[in-house]
Structure 1
Amino acid sequence: MAVPKKRTSISKKRIRKNIWKRKGYWAALKAFSLSKSISTGNSKSFFCPTKKNKQSKVEIT
């Protein structure tokens, strides 16, 4: 089993962790932006079929 020779510094560890977190932040931001444009109907690059007929609601008692 390979063992590192020197300990990774705290600052280097923090930098790597922040890069990893930033990637997640941008992915979430893009997903939210896409969902917002789809829900408002302003999306030009994403096709989302819509149903116009109304379904009756069934109440369970």
Structure 2
Amino acid sequence: MAVPKKRTSISKKRIRKNIWKSKGRRAALKAFSLAKSLSTGNSKSFWGDKSNKY
């Protein structure tokens, strides 16, 4: 017979939500930083013809 799950406490739920949000925030910051470095031409991770700017 199916048994309902125990309820997750509010604090645990809040902690998990904050971790999830911080991961997204970190990814967005990293993407923005990479875009900024590509636009200025200071990128170390991408290499190629730097004269061809869009």
TM-score range, shorter chain: 0.7 to 0.9
TM-score (norm 1): 0.71
Structure 1 moving runs of 4+ over 4 Å: none
Q: Are residues 2 and 33 of structure 1, via their aligned partners in 2, closer, same or farther at CA, if it must alter by over 3 Å?
A: farther
Equivalent residues, number:
50
Structure 1 residue ranges without an equivalent (≥5):
52-61
Mapped partners of 1:2, 1:46: distance in 2 = 53
SS at structure 2 position matched to 1:45 = coil
Question: Which amino acid is the alignment partner of residue 17 of structure 1?
Answer: K
Structure 2 residue ranges without an equivalent (≥5):
none
Question: Which amino acid is the alignment partner of residue 43 of structure 1?
Answer: S
TM-score (norm 2): 0.79
